[in-house]
Amino acid sequence: MRLFYTPNSPYARICRIVAIEGGLADALELVRVPLRTPDSPSLRHGPLGKIPLLVDGDLVLGESRLICGYLDQRSSNPPSLPSASDWQAQARESLMSGFLEGITNWSREKRRAADEQSPFILEVEEQRAIRAFEHIERTIPAPPAEPPITYADLALVAALGMVDFYGLVPDWRGAYPALAAWLAAYEALPSVQETAPSMAAMNPLTRSL
Ligand SMILES: N[C@@H](CCC(=O)N[C@@H](CS)C(=O)NCC(=O)O)C(=O)O
């Protein structure tokens, strides 16, 4: 299996953590690709040029959630995805996915040239993020001794990783201490440390959204 990815993609990060925790790291070849360029190797496997993209034989699978489901089937770990009928777990996953999507939009906007940034989008995403922080702070469980490796939890880990990396919400740990304690339990995992965004892996956006 090959996973086309960029090191700082939060969606690829979720898949990479699921693979590592599921004992699949050796079975998954990581292929780092540039984005938004016509010569990206991912375009040999499909038209979209988006990552993460998992290629296994003639299967070409996009969307991090589906990729995690595929990895789940190859691992003996508890699944990262909830059962289709567990609506409370699905609802929690949709909350965390939506939070990650908003944070991703916000960070993309902030990385555009200053004179191309939309003050309206920046404001909308900041307000969305603050509402989500306040909601999640009220509902987050105590720091788990053994952090569950679920898509929902990893979407939250990945979103907070982006918040830290791009400095989107200064001192959020002081404002949301329960969430900070929860994240610390995940940050102790080698799989989470190994996949954290880094300046060394930073790619300038070659084409803006
Ligand atoms: N819903 C997708 C989101 C994936 C996504 O947004 N990937 C970004 C990188 S983090 C991407 O491929 N961007 C390149 C582009 O939009 O051209 C998933 O869950 O995998």
Closest CA to 64 of 146, 130, 6: 6
Positions of CATH 3.40.30.10 in the chain: 2-80
- Which atom of ligand 1 lies at the shortest distance from residue 8's CA? 10
3-state secondary structure (DSSP) of residue 3: strand
Give the right CATH number for 87-194 from 3.40.50.1820, 1.20.1050.10, 2.40.50.140, 3.40.30.10.
1.20.1050.10
pLDDT at position 204, please? Answer: 55
Q: How far is the CA of 9 from the centre of ligand 1 (A)?
A: 8
Q: How far is the CA of 50 from the centre of ligand 1 (A)?
A: 5
State if residue 36 touches ligand 1 by the CB under 6 angstroms criterion. Answer: yes
Which residue among 17, 51, 81, 99 has the greatest number of ligand 1 atoms within 8 angstroms of its CB, and so is best to mutate? 51
pLDDT tens for 13-52 read 999 999 999 999 999 999 999 999 999 999 999 999 999 9
pLDDT at position 203, please? Answer: 64
Residue whose CA lies nearest to ligand 1 atom number 10? 9
Q: Which residues of the chain have pLDDT under 70?
A: 203-209
Pairing mode of beta strands 2-5, 53-56: antiparallel
Query: 2-80 maps to which CATH number?
Result: 3.40.30.10
**Structural tokens at position 124:** 């909308």
Secondary structure percentages of the chain, helix, strand, coil, to 5: 55, 10, 35
State if residue 161 touches ligand 1 by the CB under 6 angstroms criterion. Answer: no
pLDDT tens for 97-111 read 999 999 999 999 999
Positions of CATH 1.20.1050.10 in the chain: 87-194
Residue whose CA lies nearest to ligand 1 atom number 14? 50
Q: What contacts 47, CB < 8 A, 6 or more positions away?
A: none
Pairing mode of beta strands 2-5, 29-32: parallel
**Structural tokens at position 45:** 């496997």
Residue whose CA lies nearest to ligand 1 atom number 1? 63
Kindly tell me the sign of the dihedral angle through the C-alpha atoms of 62, 6, 15, 104: negative
Give the Cα separation of 97 and 87 in Å (integer). 15
